[in-house]
Chains A and B, each alone.
Chain A
């Protein structure tokens, strides 16, 4: 079973607009990560937020984490056509060291940015 669920499943916006997608998870986590996947390709790591952090920025990306609601959001500002991809959240479960590395993914949000 998958740990995370992204919302919305699909998002279509125009260049320059902001894209926001949300992720909910089920169990306690050590950290939550966001990945991007272009069609038919491997996943590329975007940003990692630890369970004791609430917000993090990286370039045009902003991630928030609300552990009380078991949710995270990814904001892409000033989107570009090149941002067209699927975006996945993935978390590592809280607990023993052995569980730190096992990433559990949601089903993803497919983002289309039109010029």
Chain B
């Protein structure tokens, strides 16, 4: 499978715990994005990378959220001290940087904070 893969697909955690999600983009894609989506809403932008550089982080993102893409390949998204409001689908996408190109999305990681 040469698409975007995310791991895990589902995560249930207790409030206050830390969680980490992984995203493996399409190999030749140099842009990688993280989005969060709650029921009935469109994806909300969190952050994106071009290679290993984090170009933008949403102002809506609290300091409990951090993302990395250390070698410009896979990325991790960590949420510290999870809260019930963090329950959502976390989507990763990748694309090429040049010109106007489509983004390819993974299947997402569904987080439930209990």
- A: which residues have CB within 8 A of B? 2, 4, 30-31, 33, 35, 40-45, 48, 50, 88, 90, 92, 98, 100-108
| B3 (CB) vs chain A CBs: closest residue | A42
> In the bound complex, do residue B105 and residue A107 qualify as a contact, i.e. CB atoms below 8 Å apart?
no
Which of A2, A41, A48 lies in contact with B100, CB distance below 8 A? A48
> In the bound complex, do residue A42 and residue B33 qualify as a contact, i.e. CB atoms below 8 Å apart?
no
Interface of A is mostly: strand
| Residue of A88, A103, A106, A107 ringed by the most chain B CB atoms within 10 A | A103
* Interface footprint category on B: 20 to 34
- B: which residues have CB within 8 A of A? 4, 31, 33, 35, 40-45, 48, 50, 55-56, 89, 91, 93, 95, 97, 99-108, 110
Bound Cα distance A103, B45 (Å): 8
